[in-house]
Amino acid sequence: MSKTAEAISVAKAKGESVLVGYFPAGYPDIQSSVDACVAICEAGADVLELGVPYSDPVMDGLVIQEATEEALANGFKLRELFPIIEAITARVSTPVLVMSYWNPILSFGLEKFAKELKASGAAGLITPDLIPDEAKDWIAISEELKLDRVFLATPSSSPERLEQAAKSSRGFVYAVSTMGITGAREDLDKAARQVVSGVNLSETGTPVCVGIGVSTGDQVAEINGYADGAIVGSALIKAYQHGGLNELTNCVTDLKAGSTK
């Protein structure tokens, strides 16, 4: 079992809601992002999704866009990702999945990126704009290095595509709750349940976590009723912006507990 899937399994066995927490690397600066990520993990997140700031974040909503733009403006470079991961994994045992668009990885060099990812202590990679059909090289090297790879499943995916995402992913499948960009929404699309059901029909046993628009403890609890976990990003960044590490920690605690305080 992958490190990510194991963390999900352990939390579920305890009867807890599974929470995947997102935060951008280098936001607002290198050390602050490390401290924020450690706080997210220590407050109870089961998996950390560490975002790579990118100049063309086609799936990201305004909150994440502005945060990653600030990180880039403050000088973040992709090579700094690996020391950030090392600093986080030296302090917590929570699985760290890097979320990155594919172009920065190609520019860096896939093999070099994968090997540095492994050496830094990361569990694997989430690739929002890479489909399994075009991921032959990544699948091969992730198998070699035993890195998790998370592909997206969307409301518009055919049954065949959902099955392919399930079979190609390791760690979990990222079920997109609604078509569009990330950001907190009051209501999650019912399509999320259909995506999860479609992935589960593949009978691969790959966990399914739901993201895009998840922002409250009630939503986290609801999602955990039909999926294997909930992914939250914008709400965590907002909490950090409003009240630093203290409010960020409280936000994670409330999300994990299913509270809307």
Residues that are catalytic: 49, 60
Sign, Cα dihedral of 178, 11, 233, 217: positive
DSSP state of 17: P
Token representation of residue 101: 């668009």
DSSP state of 16: P
Give me the numbers of helices (H) and strands (E) for the chain, helices first please.
11, 9
- CA-to-CA separations, 118 to 24, 112, 115, 174, 185, in angstroms, rounded: 19, 10, 5, 21, 34
- CA-to-CA separations, 96 to 45, 48, 164, 178, in angstroms, rounded: 11, 5, 24, 24
- Phi and psi at 208, nearest 5°, equal -125, 125
**How far apart, in whole angstroms, are the C-alpha atoms of residue 241 and residue 13?**
33
DSSP state of 125: E
